[in-house]
Structure 1
Amino acid sequence: MTYPETNTPQIDSPRRDVTNGFGITGMVLGIIALVFSPLPVINLLALILAILGLIFGIIGLAVKGRSKGTALAGTIISTIATIVSVTLFIVYASFFNAVIHASGLIKEEAERIVARHTPVSVEYQMTGSGAADVSFSSYIDGAWEMYHEQPQLPWSTETDGRVAHFDVLKLNGTNRADSTGEINCKILIDGKVIAEETNSGSLARVTCRVTGRQIIAQVD
């Protein structure tokens, strides 16, 4: 007996996606980078991990015959981590620069305060070959203190005080009509010449002037 031939339909086994190693790696790196991206300094490392995760994620998307889900997730997460890391790095860098700048200003102001209370010696000098009219003055706390003499040159006088006491120092000298030689003025702070001027001839005039800022600069 012959039985008729029957065609039995073949049932294909369900297709399973092949694991995407690149995608998984990219997703893991992206997650780690995203977690650490908000942390100062460490977010530099997070940025590197995020870039690597992005590279692996893109490679995972390009590989054929592999699952794309993890690769897509890794690419998205790594992109977000990269943006967060870069943005916060810029924010932190700006903040630290501002703090450093502010610290410098505070230090300068502290040094200026200390300098203003530093004792200094002020010396007025007038040199020449004859007699002269000499006046010297100090602007202290909004008021001028002025002195006038008619000495035979050379002449000098000295005073002591704190930097904060002297806002402006001035020294003027004028040759007498019968003095035709040179006349020279100097203002010295702690023995160092800060201002000097020379002139010559009958009735020649010289003026030396020192400001409080110059005095502070000298004692810094």
Structure 2
Amino acid sequence: MAPSPADPNYNQPGKGNGFGITALVLGIVAVVFSIIPILGFIAFILGPLAVIFGIIGLTRKYTKKGTSVTGLILGVVSVIVAIIVTSIVAAAANSVSESLNKEHTIQYVVTTTGPAQVTYWNGSGSSNEDITSEWKKELTTTGFDFTTLSVSGDYTAESSVSCEIFVDGVSVSKNTGAGTGAHASCSGSSSSK
């Protein structure tokens, strides 16, 4: 009797898997881009492509499956990481936007026991005023604003002067001075509180 022909696939090494390699490469690139803010959107494209190529690679007969499985997993992971990173960046951007557009009340308070000159400055400009007793000024500003306040007593007589800056009702700077030509200065910002 004649020997039976051997199965051509018997003891043959598995063929390479082009779809699996493609899935693996796309998955690796997608994971790298998924952790980079702003560029993470690329992972939303490459991640699903890695999943698709991974599934195709898994369905092919007589091929190695390791690269397909790894590419598929990396594709899924990259999309999940991209969603998390994008959410964090969006929340941070929203928080910064809210703080930059938040309205703040700045109040200047000056006391003196004699004639004095008050100078105050903020992002909208500066102003000088002559005073002889307690003085208050309130401003409303939006976003980040730096401000300074100074009071100088008369140089011909002894006096005591003080200044204080409040931002949204919270004291952010306070100073006093006494003597001839007494001087006190304060500074702060809308983010000082």
Q: TM-score range by the shorter chain?
A: 0.5 to 0.7
Deviation at 1:14, TM superposition (A): 4.9
Please report the TM-score for the alignment, with normalisation by the length of structure 2: 0.56
Q: Which residue of the other structure, out of 60, 78, 90, is the alignment partner of 2:66?
A: 78
For residues 7 and 146 of structure 2, what CA distance do their matches in structure 1 show? Answer: 91
In our comparison, the structure showing a higher alpha carbon Rg is 1
2:71 aligns to what SS in structure 1?
helix
Question: Superposed, which structure 2 residues align to 1:193-204 within 5 Å?
Answer: 193-204=171-182
1:124 aligns to what SS in structure 2?
strand
CA pair 147-13 structure 1, distance change in 2 beyond 3 A:
closer
For residues 39 and 168 of structure 1, what CA distance do their matches in structure 2 show? Answer: 48
**Structure 2 counterpart of 1:207:** 185
For residues 172 and 108 of structure 1, what CA distance do their matches in structure 2 show? Answer: 31
Q: Which residue of the other structure, out of 84, 103, 122, is the alignment partner of 2:107?
A: 122
CA pair 99-110 structure 1, distance change in 2 beyond 3 A:
same
**Structure 1 counterpart of 2:100:** 112
CA pair 168-121 structure 1, distance change in 2 beyond 3 A:
closer
1:148 maps to amino acid: E
User: Which runs of 5 or more structure 1 residues have no equivalent in the other structure?
Assistant: 1-9, 54-68
Q: Given that residues 110 and 161 in structure 2 are in contact (C-alpha distance below 8 angstroms), is that contact kept between their aligned partners in structure 1?
A: no
**Structure 2 counterpart of 1:89:** 77
**Structure 1 counterpart of 2:158:** 179
Q: Given that residues 184 and 198 in structure 1 are in contact (C-alpha distance below 8 angstroms), is that contact kept between their aligned partners in structure 2?
A: yes
Q: What is the root-mean-square deviation of aligned Cα atoms in Å?
A: 4.4
Deviation at 1:133, TM superposition (A): 1.4
Q: Which residue of the other structure, out of 103, 106, 118, is the alignment partner of 1:135?
A: 118
* Number of residue equivalences: 158
Question: Superposed, which structure 2 residues align to 1:19-168 within 5 Å?
Answer: 38-39=47-48, 70=62, 73=63, 75=64, 77-83=65-71, 85-86=73-74, 89-90=77-78, 93-94=81-82, 96-113=84-101, 115-116=102-103, 120=105, 122-127=107-112, 130-139=113-122, 141=124, 143-144=125-126, 146-152=127-133, 155-159=134-138, 161-164=139-142, 167-168=145-146
For residues 194 and 19 of structure 1, what CA distance do their matches in structure 2 show? Answer: 83
2:142 aligns to what SS in structure 1?
helix
For residues 179 and 97 of structure 1, what CA distance do their matches in structure 2 show? Answer: 62
1:179 maps to amino acid: E
For residues 111 and 179 of structure 1, what CA distance do their matches in structure 2 show? Answer: 43
1:163 aligns to what SS in structure 2?
strand
